Chain A
Amino acid sequence: AQSVAQPEDQVNVAEGNPLTVKCTYSVSGNPYLFWYVQYPNRGLQFLLKYITGDNLVKGSYGFEAEFNKSQTSFHLKKPSALVSDSALYFCAVRGSPNDYKLSFGAGTTVTVRA
């Protein structure tokens, strides 16, 4: 079975500082990994994905994520956080090309203070 862990319920950073949201995964086979963001009272918005190729993936709104196979991690990063980045972030994994459902982590609430 596939699963994702987000070890931090909350991450607090000051505006302008780097932001990292951690994610580790467990899957048999090669993972398809995703990050989504959810703003209050909104649906989930796709940020980025890793399927294959370069371990550093660039996505929307200046976010990037680094795939590390040996550590089974897929941490989300942003070099300089904005107050508007405050939201709930979900990491998700899809275990195989023929398994289309996503397994989500519990989510990490990011608060960026001005």
Chain B
Amino acid sequence: DSGVTQTPKHLITATGQRVTLRCSPRSGDLSVYWYQQSLDQGLQFLIQYYNGEERAKGNILERFSAQQFPDLHSELNLSSLELGDSALYFCASSVGSVEKYFGPGTRLTVT
């Protein structure tokens, strides 16, 4: 158990809908990272937050947004969903440590 929690584990929704994925980092970790894992794109970095502020952006679509709250949990919002957004979404956290610790992921299926 990495100490990073993600909810929900599974999410099934229809095209055009909006969903919110939630991540709680390890206790004391200030940084949260979001990654998308799909069969065709592999593991792609989406976005990083550090202590509530956006720190870095990767291949994140404009339909996607994220935020980190004062209690350090983070939410990834995905809107106007398309079939191609079906993937595993991982959250990772770190503080000072070079390595990141990943949560179990949320599997999103868009039908």
Contacts and interface: CB of A to CB of B under 8 A. Distances in A.
A32 B97 CA distance: 12
Interface of B: 2, 4, 31, 33, 42-43, 45, 48, 55-56, 58, 90, 92, 94, 98-105
A100 B2 contact: no
Size bin of chain A's contact surface: 20 to 34
Contacts of A32: 98
A102 B105 contact: no
Interface of A: 32, 34, 36, 42-46, 49, 51, 90, 94, 99-107
A45 B102 contact: yes
Q: Which of B43, B90, B94, B105 has the most CB of A within 10 A?
A: B43
B108 to A, nearest CB: 14
Given A49-B99, A90-B43, A106-B42, A43 B104 contact: yes
Contacts of A44: 90, 92, 102
Contacts of A104: 42-43
Contact of A36 (B4, B55, B102): B102
Contact of B56 (A34, A45, A100, A106): A100
Nearest to A103: B45
Contact of B45 (A51, A102, A106): A102
A88 B104 CA distance: 15
